A = this chain, B = another copy of it.
Amino acid sequence: MPDMDERATPLSAEEMALWRAWKQASDTVRARIAADISAATGLSDPDFGVLTRVVEDGGGRMRQNQLAESMGYHRSRLSHHLTRMQQRGLITRREAGDGVEVIVTDAGRAAVATARPVHAAAVRRHLLGPLTAADRATLLSLLERLSG
């Protein structure tokens, strides 16, 4: 049997460089922003996301099912996460007719209030700041193509 070229064509040096830079930057930016928020408040990225959603879109309380949908979370993921957040005193859950209602505690409100400006500053410092206006425009259109 002849060599079937099973290895197809490997990534060229240019392709590899872009791939590695992409992976590196994705990880780095995410980690830096998460670290800033965590240092200031103890909140993880998902904690911040959940609290922000419930406080801003629901005034501090929201149906668990609606929360899952609006965040693109599977039921089980949200259930597991809320269990942990509840144990840390960030939220409470209450049986509410046809579903469960998630209620942000005072501690949860305080944490997210502290986190908000830290998050904005972190996004500016670690993502927006290093880019020129032209970079930002190109990047936005290109990112949208990648997610499509």
Contacts and interface: CB of A to CB of B under 8 A. Distances in A.
Contacts of A68: none
B140 A138 contact: no
Interface residues of A, number: 44
A147 B18 contact: no
Q: Copies of this chain, how many?
A: 2
A147 B117 contact: no
Interface in A107-138: 113, 116-117, 120-121, 123-124, 126-128, 130-131, 135-136, 138
A29 interface: yes
A11 interface: yes
Q: Looking at chain A's contact residues, is the secondary structure mostly helix, strand, loop, or mixed?
A: helix
B15 A143 contact: no
Given A18-B127, A135-B142, 11 more contacts: A7-B113, A8-B121, A15-B123, A15-B124, A17-B140, A18-B136, A22-B139, A22-B143, A28-B147, A29-B146, A130-B146
Interface of A: 6-11, 14-15, 17-19, 21-26, 28-30, 113, 116-117, 120-121, 123-124, 126-128, 130-131, 135-136, 138-140, 142-148
- Kindly list the 7 A-B residue pairs having the minimum CB-CB distance in the complex, ordered from nearest: A8-B117, A21-B143, A25-B143, A26-B26, A25-B146, A130-B145, A28-B147
